Amino acid sequence: MSSIESHDVDTDSSDPFKTSCALLVSILAMTLAIASLGGSNAAKDATAENILASNAYAFYQAKNIRQTSYKIAVDNIDFQLANDKLNAEQKVKLEKALAGYKKNIERYESEPDTGEGKKELMVTAKKHEAHRDHAMKQDPWFDYAEALLQISIVLTSVAIITNRRTFFKVSLVLGTLGLLSTLNGFLLIV
């Protein structure tokens, strides 16, 4: 029984190479978790910002349709006022309606107080598009990072099992590229 126990004991537990490999796996796994979180957040941000941009454009279109309806009504009233067949009371009513319609046309164009005029909605939509585009530029870098880091972890495991330093070196290079891809995912330097 003591001969079986002696085979179960790892005599190379203080091997510096295996310790380096274990440390590398730990760093790679931590970086992989960060890259995965960054990629997940970038994808969610891109989706959310796309929805917000679409909503702003839809609201813009609704305002545009309403504004166009008022413009048609203004044209119709202008045509009626040009006709001399109206009595004074009818002209007053039409002019009052005309003033209200023109006020609505202006309000639909710009409402700085509420931020719901066409002008403000377009700015809001463009802002959401810019945020979406930023997140979409980030996402592929996190995907690259995740792939590189996963491959690096596998190669480090192979290096531990085979005791081959070549696998460790390749893993180190791929892990470094994965780390740089993760950083670029957050910072978009490249």
Note whether residue 10 is domain-resident.
no
Note whether residue 108 is domain-resident.
yes
Distance CA 6, CA 34 (A): 40
Residue 80 neighbours by CB distance under 10 Å? 15
Note whether residue 42 is domain-resident.
yes
For residue 158, give every residue at least 6 positions away whose Cβ sits within 8 Å of its Cβ, in sequence order, or none.
164, 167
Note whether residue 6 is domain-resident.
no
Q: What is the pLDDT of residue 13?
A: 62
Q: For the chain (length 190 residues), average pLDDT per consecutive 10?
A: 47 81 97 98 98 98 97 95 88 95 97 96 98 98 98 98 97 98 97
> Domains in the chain: how many in total?
1
Q: Is residue 7 helix, strand or coil?
A: helix
